Amino acid sequence: MEHIAVNPWAALAYLIAGVCFILALRGLSSPATSQRGNAFGMAGMTIAVVTTLITHVPYDLAAGAAAGFSSEEPIFDTVTMLEILGAIVVGAVIGLVTARKIAMTDMPQLVAAFHSLVGLAAVLVAAAAFLNPEAFGIATLLVSDTGPPVVHILPVSRIEMGLGVAIGAITFSGSVIAFLKLNGNMGGKPIMLPGRHVINLAVLAGIVGLVAYFTQDQSPWIFWTITGLSFAIGFLLIIPIGGADMPVVVSMLNSYSGWAAAAMGFTLHNTAMIITGALVGSSGAILSYIMCKAMNRSFISVIAGGFGADTSGGGAAAATDRPWKRGSAEDAAFLMSQAEQVVIVPGYGMAVAQAQHALREMADKLKAHGVRVKYAIHPVAGRMPGHMNVLLAEANVPYDEVFELEDINSEFAQTDVAFVIGANDVTNPAAKTDKSSPIYGMPVLDVEKAKTVLFIKRSMGGVGYAGVDNDVFYMDNTMMLLADAKKMVEEIVKSLD
């Protein structure tokens, strides 16, 4: 049994940890301060873990009683403490090895996997609290004259428990599907189930109703039904969402994991978990809003189904019959070497080909020729928020050369060459002109306004995740470079020598 020692310094320590987490989020808002932000995050987590270990020292009251000690003098539970420390060491080793070996191009999958673990942890904590509420200090013993004593879980704790297990289970199962989609184990296209809206609404209503009923009746079937339905709705919500909406999904799951942690923080009476969960939950919600705004979509429309869900498969085939110009690496190298300014627009194609290092080398060659080079980043380029920024940072691209959409879009009209590497939907002018397009209204990069557009893609037969063709391919000022992105950029680098 756990003996909770009251430490007057615990609240102050948790407050310091919370401040560190806030500073970590602030630092991570910019690549230039991201290392400092990570340092604050690690410091805050270290303070929180150490404080928790000190204030929740495990004691074996039964062993103390057997040894003749009073309840105020329990024996330190060495075995339990070693188990806790062992679990921390195992987790630290797994995290360290994963962080060192994971490729930057696989970062979206890693983030989804981490979210799933947070959700699963919330489910396990809620289950432990339900099965042994006395150890968590969330129950009272009701003595009856007609029967044995009954362990009564406090109603407020049941609310926390019900919400925590529901949000945690949704986070876990939803993150598993997101991981499979991002990792290529499942198709990136939306998987539309018949009657999905009715099913999803019915399941969500059932979960809310059961959580409310759980406050009146603590029967085990209610708790486990909530858990099962929440696992199911996580799968059902994410399966219909396509790859183009993955940035929103990742930030949404990030928010869910934070709220799950906050709910469990109340159950565990842990201030640090409440603060951290609230920070993660609110920041994830704000980021989801920013992502949706960048796509001109509502959060509900993302959950209802992904881009391309209603498009037919014949659009791309018909579009390739239109005239277009094909160029070579030598053509691209000549055009860019003669330019005053080149704006590079990276997208998911760059990430798949792992072309970021070759791209930086190309930019260095161009700058040696006196060309001004900038990078234009769309908020939802790639498969997670900041995906392109992370890849460019890995290739040591200077921070002052990287610009967000709203900061650089006006410069395309004065740009000699727009070099687009695997960014389809975020450069599609149909978002501005075609009201029937599924991406209509989404802010896009105005690459078509540049004097010349060099567009790298594998073939003319493919379309982006939105399922619509890009008119930029067929414009008079566009030259298509059909090849693997990394190989094409490497050939351009050779031609620049």
pLDDT at 316 (0 to 100): 42
Based on its alpha-carbon atoms, the radius of gyration of the chain, rounded to whole angstroms, reads 27
Task: Decide if 469 is catalytic.
Answer: no
pLDDT at 188 (0 to 100): 62
d(CA 472, CA 478): 7
pLDDT at 6 (0 to 100): 47
Whether the predicted pLDDT of 464 surpasses 70: no
Greater confidence (1 vs 414) lies with 414
Question: How large is the average pLDDT for residues 294-318?
Answer: 56
By CB atoms closer than 10 A (0-12, 13-18, 19+), residue 410 is exposed
Residues 150 and 142 sit within 8 Å (Cβ to Cβ): yes
DSSP annotation string for 431-482: HHH-TTSTTTT-----GGGSSEEEEEES-TT---TT----GGGGSTTEEEEE
The phi and psi torsions of 14 (rounded to 5 degrees) equal -65, -35
pLDDT at 462 (0 to 100): 62
Q: What is the mean pLDDT of the chain?
A: 83
Greater confidence (460 vs 420) lies with 420
Greater confidence (359 vs 149) lies with 359
pLDDT at 3 (0 to 100): 43
Specify whether the backbone of 479 is left (phi greater than 0), alpha (psi in -120 to 50) or beta. beta
Residues 380 and 349 sit within 8 Å (Cβ to Cβ): no
Whether the predicted pLDDT of 32 surpasses 50: yes
Q: Please give the share of the chain, as a percent, with pLDDT higher than 70.
A: 86
pLDDT at 145 (0 to 100): 62
d(CA 142, CA 242): 51
The phi and psi torsions of 141 (rounded to 5 degrees) equal -100, 115
| Per-residue model confidence as pLDDT tens digits over 44-98 | 999 998 988 888 776 555 544 444 444 455 566 778 788 888 998 998 898 888 8
Buried b (16+ CB within 10 A) or exposed e, 486-497: bebbbbbbebbe
Picking from 16-30, 200-214, 360-374, 456-470, which range would have the lowest pLDDT averaged per residue?
456-470
pTM over 0.75: yes
Cβ partners under 8 Å of residue 261, min gap 6: 118, 121, 122, 273, 276, 277, 280, 281
pLDDT at 232 (0 to 100): 94
Enter the tokens of residue 202: 């019915």
Whether the predicted pLDDT of 4 surpasses 60: no
Question: How large is the average pLDDT for residues 142-161?
Answer: 78
d(CA 266, CA 78): 27
Q: Which is catalytic among the residues 77, 245, 425, 446? A: 425
Report how far apart, in Å, the C-alpha atoms of 425 and of each of 160, 203, 359, 399, 431 are. 41, 33, 21, 25, 9
Greater confidence (229 vs 267) lies with 229
pLDDT at 284 (0 to 100): 86
